[in-house]
Structure 1
Amino acid sequence: MSDSTPSTPRGSADPFVPAELYTQVQQFYARQMGLLDDGFPDAWADTFTEDAVFQEASRLDEPLRGRDAIRDSSRARKKRLEAEEIDFRHWLGMLDVRPQADGSLHARSYALAMRTRRGGELDIFASVVCHDRLVSVEGAWQVAERDLHHDGSGRD
């Protein structure tokens, strides 16, 4: 993501999106994370473009490339969580949405990934900074690129 990498500072000179669009993006993320957390890996994968790239350097050796790879990974994750009897939740906040010259949106947010073993205590599994490039596909937002940076990894 050339214009959304952490090495590119986001200053006050960058325009914000209008409030209505910001709200749409918030609703997109609420729906997207709900699909993942509620155990719908196929529907969650459908929120990514066909050629999406999902990068999580601290957990993946190589980025996931394409919706099918993202779907396969999400299905495997669901099976692991079910076998381990773990409920998993994501909380996104501090959302910053900026329009890009090509019509896409750059979205930066903080995310907490939390897990609770059934009958157990809440564990904050990870704190990350999420950089997404969102594109409109047939009137709906989809993630074309996701780049996650775990706190403590030396990247933001």
Structure 2
Amino acid sequence: MEIQQLYARQVHLLDAGDAHGWAATFTPDGSFSSPTYGEPVSGPDGLAGIVRQYRENAGKVGEIWRHITSDLEVGVLDEHTVRVRAHQLIVASAVGEQSRISRVVALDDVVTLTEDGWRTRSKTITRDDLA
């Protein structure tokens, strides 16, 4: 349940544009890799930059983007580390238009138990449309 809550918290923070809140769901050396955003980033500043870019990209096209996470599979690597695989639908909405699925992505993450709870150490995203 704690892992599921981490993923729910991450998408709510991301979709709300809370750059520092989203970055805080990662370990201090946490990394993020997605073909949507070019080179991988790591650390709080790099991670926060992803959220700002995400919001800017949505704003440029006049849309609100929401993430819907499904199919969470959690595999234990050791007593403090798990591998999480999941899928996300990114739904795009614009006023007066029907919402649509913008992208379907797969997540392959490593999540670590820290003093502050579960945090993402690495998040690797692949896009079905670029596979």
Alignment TM-score > 0.5, same fold: yes
Corresponding position: 1:25 with 2:16: no
CA distance in 2, matches of 1:152, 1:29: 23
Tell me whether 42-51 or 141-150 shows the greater mean CA deviation: 42-51
Corresponding position: 1:140 with 2:117: yes
Q: Match of 2:18, as an amino acid? A: F
1 or 2, which has the higher helix percentage?
A: 2
Q: Which residue of 1 aligns with 2:46?
A: 69
Q: Which residue of 2 aligns with 1:53?
A: 31
Tell me whether 60-69 or 28-37 shows the greater mean CA deviation: 60-69
Larger Rg: 1
Runs of 4 or more consecutive aligned structure 1 residues displaced over 4 Å after TM superposition? none
Q: Is the contact made by 2:25 and 2:119 (CA closer than 8 Å) also made in structure 1?
A: yes
Corresponding position: 1:81 with 2:81: no
CA RMSD of aligned residues (A): 1.7
Q: Match of 1:90, as an amino acid? A: H
Q: Is the contact made by 1:42 and 1:75 (CA closer than 8 Å) also made in structure 2?
A: no
CA distance in 1, matches of 2:69, 2:53: 23
Count of aligned pairs? 131
Q: Match of 2:130, as an amino acid? A: S
Q: How much has 1:77 moved relative to structure 2?
A: 2.4
Q: Is the contact made by 2:111 and 2:119 (CA closer than 8 Å) also made in structure 1?
A: yes
Calculate the TM-score normalised by the size of structure 2: 0.89
Corresponding position: 1:44 with 2:22: yes
Distance 1:129 1:76, change over 3 A: closer
CA distance in 2, matches of 1:105, 1:141: 10
1 or 2, which has the higher strand percentage?
A: 2
Q: How much has 1:102 moved relative to structure 2?
A: 6.2
Q: Match of 1:97, as an amino acid? A: V
Q: Is the contact made by 1:93 and 1:109 (CA closer than 8 Å) also made in structure 2?
A: yes
Q: Which residue of 1 aligns with 2:85?
A: 108
> Matched residue of 1:59: which SS?
helix
CA distance in 1, matches of 2:129, 2:54: 23
Unmatched 5+ stretches in structure 1 = 1-22
Tell me whether 127-136 or 72-81 shows the greater mean CA deviation: 72-81
CA distance in 2, matches of 1:63, 1:102: 27
